[in-house]
Amino acid sequence: MNEDFRKLWPDYDPGRYFCELTTTRSDAGPVPRWLAERLEGIGLDALRARASAAETDLIDLGVTFTVYSDATAIDRILPFDCIPRVLTASEWDLLERACKQRVAALNAFLGDIYGKGQVVKDGVIPADLVYGNSNYRPEMQDFPVRYGTYAHICGIDIIRDEHGDFRVLEDNARTPSGVSYVVENRHLMLRTFPDLMAGIKLRPVDDYGRRLRAAMAEVAPACTDDPQVVLLSPGIYNSAYFEHVFLAREMGVPLVVGADLTVENDRVYMRTTAGKKRVHTIYRRLNDDFLDPLVFRPDSMLGVPGLIGAWKAGNVTIANAVGTGVADDKAVYAYMPRIIKYYLGEEPLIQNVDTHICREAEGLKYTLDNLDKLVTKPVGESGGYGITIGPRASKEELEASRAAILANPENWISQPVIGLSVAPTLAEEGIGPRHLDLRPFIITGKESWVLPGGLSRVAMKRGSLIVNSSQGGGSKDTWVLAESFAKGDAA
């Protein structure tokens, strides 16, 4: 940690972890120091008062997600930490290129496995991992999509290790959520902490809705030059409903539920006061399973009968495409570095976290022999459920984990414990280090665009490595510095 911070925050100790504010970076310039000085200037009591006012603001605005437990639903805000996370211009340059690379590979992979399957024939990835995957959709076979884009909206979870190197932890190519918080957090910062931001040039985040709508229009069926885009939500009881509203508003398109849509002659219409109106692109926030009761789950009340037929007839675009889940599977993830190389002929710009695949004898043995040192994850789950962190688990927990893996090895992967980077966070003890990750969002129509920054999720509990909102994580505003302060760069 550099000297400036030692003087300002004598009690702040990030330990062996990379700190997103106090660790010296070549092109951060004076910004981290300014931030720390300004925070000191405001003082802890005033910070707490303002943070609490900011949270009230979020409640009043209904910026909430819903947590379900025991059949009760509670509206919660995503805890907001008022100390921003700062990414420098060069860090962002790398992240942006790496995200585009990753998405290009994901889409090429999806086009291939739903086409000739060359990647399997060439032995890059085992056939059963692809075709035996529960998220593989045979309906997609030999069905071309516009511009070869399957994953129109992607969220890639990236962490930073003890050395300050970024690593990809997970791809989210189905219906990634969280982007609304990126934009809302910035608005909240502008309202509540304008003095923290004064004079610091940041990359803006308010272009997301326009970009998304443009991409949705690009991928619409070619039959119209004025496509009708809608956002399909499961409805107000979905935990991400706030985000669905946010996206519909930002795009300026109707938020529909299944009952609003109807299919006639393989065309999709929405029911309006003036009768049926044609729909061309559906940004769906509904899992594949629920889309069309005629094709998938017959008991789905949330979907639209005939939707898949209309899609296969080329009369409507569904984004993300059906069947993208096979690409963001945690087991397929392990092969992503090879997949990137295979399609793009490039090394990954950001590496995976080393991953042991329990379906492979070698990976299983290594995992079982080192359970107490590894993080074990079920491949089918999201939201941080089912994860065991070896070094922090009790004997009983480790044995339970061993039993679960042995019962169904194909369902498990393991990874070394990564010392996630930390950032100064307003906590019970004052300003303290808390672990965090980053989820940038990538929109792809004809080409890819990355929203500057992304969602920084922070574990609010001291020492905790689990940042998921469903597990009590919070979020921070993520600043991407618009100018580089590196020597030689023009400021």
Q: Please give the residue ranges that form the binding site for other proteins (CB under 8 A).
A: 59-62, 226, 235-236, 241, 245, 248-249, 252, 254-257, 259-260, 270-275, 277
Cβ proximity to other proteins, 273 vs 394, nearer residue: 273
Cβ proximity to other proteins, 70 vs 226, nearer residue: 226
CA-nearest of 218, 223, 325 to 268 is: 223
List strand residue ranges (DSSP E) for 280-411, in order: 281-284, 317-319, 351-352, 356-357, 374-378, 388-389
Cβ proximity to other proteins, 15 vs 252, nearer residue: 252
CA-nearest of 441, 438, 443, 452 to 481 is: 452
Smallest distance from the beta carbon of 256 to other proteins, in angstroms? 7
Smallest distance from the beta carbon of 278 to other proteins, in angstroms? 10
Q: How far is the C-alpha of 74 from the C-alpha of 100, rounded, in Å?
A: 37
List strand residue ranges (DSSP E) for 59-163, in order: 64-69, 72-77, 80-87, 153-160
Smallest distance from the beta carbon of 231 to other proteins, in angstroms? 8
Cβ proximity to other proteins, 2 vs 272, nearer residue: 272
The H or E element spanning position 308 is helix 307-312
Other CB atoms within a 10 A radius of the CB of residue 58 amount to 19
Smallest distance from the beta carbon of 173 to other proteins, in angstroms? 26
CA-nearest of 397, 332, 310 to 106 is: 332
The H or E element spanning position 128 is helix 127-131
Cβ proximity to other proteins, 100 vs 284, nearer residue: 284
Smallest distance from the beta carbon of 60 to other proteins, in angstroms? 5
CA-nearest of 438, 451, 455 to 65 is: 455
| 394 token code pair | 């009790």
Smallest distance from the beta carbon of 84 to other proteins, in angstroms? 23
Cβ proximity to other proteins, 275 vs 488, nearer residue: 275
Smallest distance from the beta carbon of 198 to other proteins, in angstroms? 25
Q: Is the peptide bond before 411 cis (omega within 30 degrees of 0)?
A: no
Cβ proximity to other proteins, 66 vs 90, nearer residue: 66
Is the Cα torsion angle 107, 112, 115, 120 positive or negative in sign? negative
Q: How far is the C-alpha of 234 from the C-alpha of 18, rounded, in Å?
A: 40
Smallest distance from the beta carbon of 238 to other proteins, in angstroms? 11
| 205 token code pair | 């985040």
Cβ proximity to other proteins, 172 vs 233, nearer residue: 233
Could you give the residue ranges of the DSSP H alpha helices within 43-88?
44-60
| Biggest distance spanned by C-alpha atoms of the chain | 72
Cβ proximity to other proteins, 209 vs 433, nearer residue: 209
Cβ proximity to other proteins, 225 vs 429, nearer residue: 225
| 359 token code pair | 């379906």
Q: Which residue's structure tokens are 């600043």?
A: 479
- Decide if 351 contacts 167 (C-beta within 8 A): yes
Q: How far is the C-alpha of 439 from the C-alpha of 458, rounded, in Å?
A: 11
CA-nearest of 8, 3, 7, 13 to 424 is: 13
Cβ proximity to other proteins, 188 vs 358, nearer residue: 188
Smallest distance from the beta carbon of 236 to other proteins, in angstroms? 5
Is the Cα torsion angle 440, 80, 213, 75 positive or negative in sign? positive
Query: CA angle at residue 105 from 375 to 212, to 5 degrees?
Result: 95
Smallest distance from the beta carbon of 171 to other proteins, in angstroms? 29
Q: Which letter does DSSP use for residue 293 in this model?
A: T
Helix (H, G, I), strand (E, B) or coil at 216: helix
Count Cα neighbours of 472 within 13 Å in the Cβ-side half-sphere. Answer: 9
Cβ proximity to other proteins, 270 vs 417, nearer residue: 270
Smallest distance from the beta carbon of 57 to other proteins, in angstroms? 9
Smallest distance from the beta carbon of 257 to other proteins, in angstroms? 7
